[in-house]
Structure 1
């Protein structure tokens, strides 16, 4: 008989797709016997653009090869394409409504599988919890963000009832269990205008998380004890029962280093240890000329070595950054003046490989959770520059709760603008010998050790993954087989 399959349903963004696939592979490896007690079936929704579709297919080919090499039973099933919504007001609404359109296709795909052990859903796929209930299949949410953001999602429906007006106009801080009092301007972007569909969708998903059989979180107990404890105690769900939590992170896949080495990596190998500040803003981060000029001035005045991955604004009709036109985006003479201590890279770069290099002493980041985990895994302290989604909350938690970053003032009212003087101050604090930077470096080193021990045999995340595997397998056994002989 074929092994029961765990069905994964990610959305198409690489920051959602790849961590969920990696988690599925780890789940199989945990079941023993080469993962033969379970298999994994990944349902693939076609992305809305051809460029994204091509990227997803590339990710799938690599994942198939890696799974085959490890002897793991991972299969991919491509769902029929749907006509995506065109009247949406933002990415959260677009993604959530696109998922709703896939419900009949997911129901049909799952119904055709001979033995389904569980359905694991991306955080934006909570309407599929109802399908799991119809089919009598356990449903788990795979939460790609951190426990701080999960606490916020679960708390949001009640928070919306408690706050009369816009969050930005609140008196005092927001109460997010497990975190220090959160300034209103540190709340996620989609909830800052309550009347917009983005806010309603965030609240919808937050309510539905509580309906799942469990929530798998890409974090480690040692990284976020406060938030995880608050969720488990029911403080985020107003005393109601909290779903079972499985903190299994950091879930990070590291591809083999490129051969020959990437030009950025070669440049770093020539630098002294911990001497370079690295600036990179994820797949969606880009700069206009005014902001790029501020960054350039701040870096130049900081006096520190830097590697800056600079992307330009999207082309008309696209949301993806373009390769940067350095002559258009940078101040005249900047490259010549900083040639001996800086490198500006105008297209994508291998972030994981870069963070792993000894020369990198600090990371100016947009605070996507995957980027934060990669930085902590390498023990690199950060200066947060959040841009959208839950990144402002991530930045707050990184500074106020984790302590692995130096604060940087970001003006949300001006499109998350950062002045040159503020960037200069933050880079000097991060890379210099002052107390703020020293504390951030110490905490980053501690969290590096915690991340690595968590995923080792006997570590907290390895134990949570085994508990998840056991819970899924136990649901497959008839009650008579569970009786004591």
Structure 2
């Protein structure tokens, strides 16, 4: 009998869909991850709001802008929502003006569900990598037979493990920890977030359970112990969750290109001696009140250490439309003239990766957002840790007590107090001009070498990336 020739639809092997939370630290990490996955020749679709996709692309540093052409961006409109301007109340450090935006982002469920169904008709497999706090939006992946999901954990493995371990009743803990696994006097999570944001996060976590693995922007050179402890915890729960430590997501070899388009602060750094500048920046979600800005300004001046200070208020929800609603940070009168010979103040967005990679940068005063932590560690820069909210207090413990590559500016228990200029002066001098600081710099430099080695060919992160790509491609 003559065989019938049927036309079989040929599907491409695999596509990856990235779904970030619309906040800068989350957008940035997942855009860097998109580049990593695209480098394996896999089509990557980055799905978010029109405004925040634009923001992520505009602020991407460390990569050639042409690399964005390799990623498919899907721009969706969010419904209208009321957004108050960022708060500068030191007693409420969490940027609660983001809450309406986060809740509005739940409306992305339908358009992203449609996107997943469309891609499932073209590819043998669709892999969704979604932010931990965007689980509600991607839950329809369960309805697509050839799709699977992986959850991106936007915090450190150390903080994730310590939070999880703390939530388990003492009598139900499945194994014993070594005495040095979690430092004594860990900061509480009290004051790290508002009740509204905690409720938003709780609802997202309730939707979890369909994911095939967790992805961390870390590497075993930094947090191998805590990734292993998370694995151990999963195995005792009979969970099938795999943990992939495939960071750092960002490039680690940054060329100091001498081009006309370089930011002015990089040209200023070119003129400074190696390792003499402390870089001061508190990320995109922190607004310091004017009295704290004055104390910081005076502390930097009194230290007589060279500094590069990015002085901005927290991002509004729409950095393109709402920027004029945000009150500008004010310096003491005549300050910039007084410090012009050894300090530079940047009042717009700054290329942090390039700053941290610059030979003149010898320290980083940071809020300890995980993005900034990973960037400073990969560049071998020690940290003056000044946590503000969220996961930052525990990230600061990882840097200062576990890895011993930094010093605390302010203990979390005193988060509601203004840090005095004398404290800031002492911290800067310790980090930049003391024997203790030299030891921190040495450890930070060694850790930086280990991190950069981990993503080189044959390195532990490189091998784990290959393993992850093989896992999603089979």
TM bucket, shorter chain: 0.7 to 0.9
- Are 1:155 and 1:206, in contact at CA under 8 Å, matched by a contact in 2? no
Cα distance per residue 1:433-462 (max 9 Å; x no partner): 222x13311221121111111111111111
Is 1:42 aligned with 2:46? yes
The 3-state SS of whatever aligns with 1:396 is: helix
* Partner-residue secondary structure (3-state), 2:73: strand
Aligned-partner Cα distance in 2 for 1:216–1:186: 23
Per-residue CA distance 1:319-370 (angstroms, 9 max, x = gap): 8995856xx422x443344332222233332222221221111110111111
1:215 aligned residue? 214
1:300-334: CA deviation from partner (whole Å, max 9, x where unpaired): 22121212222257899958995856xx422x443
TM-score when scaled to structure 1?
A: 0.79
Checking the alignment, whether the CA contact within 8 Å between 1:271 and 1:359 is kept in structure 2 is yes
CA contact (8 A) 1:232 1:242 kept: no
Distance 1:133 1:161, change over 3 A: farther
Q: How far apart are the structure 1 equivalents of 2:445 and 2:35?
A: 28
Please, which moves more after superposition, 8-17 or 256-265? 256-265
CA separation of 1:92/1:454 partners in 2, compared to 1, >3 Å: closer, same or farther? farther
How do 1:281-320 and structure 2 match up within 5 A? 281-312=282-313
> 2: distance between equivalents of 1:40 and 1:313?
30
Alpha-carbon distance change, 107 to 153 in structure 1, aligned in 2, over 3 angstroms: farther
Cα deviations across residues 269-300 of structure 1 (Å, max 9, x unaligned)?
Answer: 11111111111111233333211111122112
- Identify which of structures 1 and 2 has the higher relative contact order when contacts are C-alpha pairs closer than 8 Å and 6+ apart: 2
C-alpha distance after superposition, 1:105-153 (max 9, x if no partner): 2212211122243111112111245311121321101223221233245
Query: Is contact 1:210–1:242 with CA below 8 Å preserved after alignment?
Result: no
CA positional deviation for 1:245: 0.8
Mapping of 1:275-354 within 5 angstroms? 275-312=276-313, 324=328, 328-330=330-332, 332-354=333-355
Equivalent residue for 1:438? 438
Any gaps of 5 or more consecutive residues in structure 1? 163-174, 475-485
Q: Helix, strand or coil for the counterpart of 2:44?
A: strand
Could you tell me which residue of structure 1 aligns to residue 141 of structure 2?
A: 132
1:21-170 alignment, distance < 5 Å: 21-30=31-40, 35=41, 38-47=42-51, 52=52, 54-56=54-56, 58=58, 65-68=66-69, 72=70, 74-84=71-81, 90=96, 93-94=99-100, 96-113=102-119, 114=121, 115=123, 116-128=125-137, 130-136=139-145, 137-152=147-162, 154-155=164-165, 158=168
Using the alignment, how far apart are the partners of 1:316 and 1:44 within structure 2?
14
SS of alignment partner, residue 183 of structure 1:
coil
The unaligned stretches of length 5 or more in structure 2 are 1-9, 85-94, 173-177
The alpha-carbon distance between structure 1 residues 445 and 199, as it changes in their structure 2 partners (threshold 3 A), is same
Q: Tell me if the contact between 2:19 and 2:46 (Cα under 8 Å) persists in the aligned partners.
A: yes
1:241 to 216, 239, 242: 239
Aligned partner of residue 419 in structure 2, secondary structure: coil
Asked if the contact 2:213–2:243 (Cα under 8 Å) also holds between the matched residues in 1, the reply is yes
In 1, Cα distance between the equivalents of 2:304 and 2:138? 53
Distance (whole Å) between structure 1 residues aligned to residue 348 and residue 170 of structure 2: 40
When residues 336 and 82 of structure 1 are mapped into structure 2, their CA distance, relative to the original with a 3 A threshold, is closer
How many angstroms apart in 1 are the aligned matches of 2:165 and 2:144?
Answer: 29
Q: Secondary structure at the match of 1:125?
A: helix
Quote the RMSD (CA, aligned, Å).
Answer: 3.6
TM-score where L is the length of structure 2: 0.81
Deviations 1:385-435 (A, max 9, x none): 111221112112111112111122246655463221211111111012222
> 1: distance between equivalents of 2:450 and 2:317?
44
Answering whether residue 12 of structure 2 is matched by residue 12 of structure 1, we say: no
2:373 counterpart of 1:368? no
> Aligned partners of 1:159, 1:204: CA distance in 2, in Å?
22
Q: Quick check: 1:282–1:366 contact (8 Å CA) kept in 2? A: yes
Contact kept in structure 2, 1:220 and 1:250, CA below 8 Å: yes
- Equivalent-residue separation in structure 2 for 1:117 and 1:13 (angstroms): 25
> In the alignment, does 2:325 pair up with 1:355?
no
SS at match of 1:27: helix
Contact 2:83 2:98 in 1 (8 A): no
Between 1:413-422 and 1:265-274, the stretch displaced more is: 413-422
CA distance in 1, matches of 2:271, 2:72: 42
